[in-house]
Chain A
Amino acid sequence: QKEVEQNSGPLSVPEGAIASLNCTYSDRGSQSFFWYRQYSGKSPELIMFIYSNGDKEDGRFTAQLNKASQYVSLLIRDSQPSDSATYLCAVKEGGTASKLTFGTGTRLQVML
């Protein structure tokens, strides 16, 4: 059973701070890693993906991947109240159709 683990939170950060969201996965053969944001009652929307070790930056978001430790994280700089949502980590298997295994998500609260 492939597993993707996330702390359910809530993770509370003050406005303007850096929010750090973490995810671990069990399948060493995993190919790529996706972060989705989901507002309450809405569908998941893609923030970014990463598939090479290291950091990948997109605006205020940075994804970090360490395949040796089977760990992926998402940093949100200058957190805003509009960032308050649940963040889902998803892992794509290697060598198969694009099936994703999702974590249960981390709820982020950005406080004024």
Chain B
Amino acid sequence: NAGVTQTPKFQVLKTGQSMTLQCAQDMNHNSMYWYRQDPGMGLRLIYYSASEGTTDKGEVPNGYNVSRLNKREFSLRLESAAPSQTSVYFCASSAFGTSGPTDTQYFGPGTRLTVL
């Protein structure tokens, strides 16, 4: 049981390049999330998917797109990378994605992205 996995672990891009960050979970969770973490800013939600077939914007969606490929996989795409997107990206998943108070998010190991 690997939990939440992310690829790649590290990536360096040039401004204007595109790339897709991959996330998969094997816990049969309904909901998945993408965050970015910057020094002094904490974790900020980019996009989330409450259930298979749905996606919604979070706090900082500009410059990103997502795809919930199936129940297991949730990808994050940068169409034209900018230096401001240099960050650590975390994917997370939770079981229920409902208003239940105990629905807990579990995080993947992260992707460190540098945009030059």
Contacts and interface: CB of A to CB of B under 8 A. Distances in A.
Contacts, number: 69
B109 interface: yes
Chain B interface, >50% SS class = loop
A43 B43 contact: no
A100 B99 contact: no
A94 B99 CA distance: 6
A49 B102 contact: yes
A43 B94 contact: no
A98 B42 contact: no
Interface residues on B, range: 20 to 34
Interface residues of A, number: 28
B42 A32 contact: no
A98 B97 contact: yes
Given A32-B102, A49-B104, A98-B103, A104 B31 contact: no
A46 B106 contact: yes
Interface of A: 4, 8, 31-32, 34, 36, 42-46, 49, 51, 88, 90, 92, 94-105
11 contacts: A43-B108, A44-B90, A49-B101, A49-B102, A96-B99, A97-B31, A99-B45, A100-B43, A102-B44, A104-B40, A104-B42
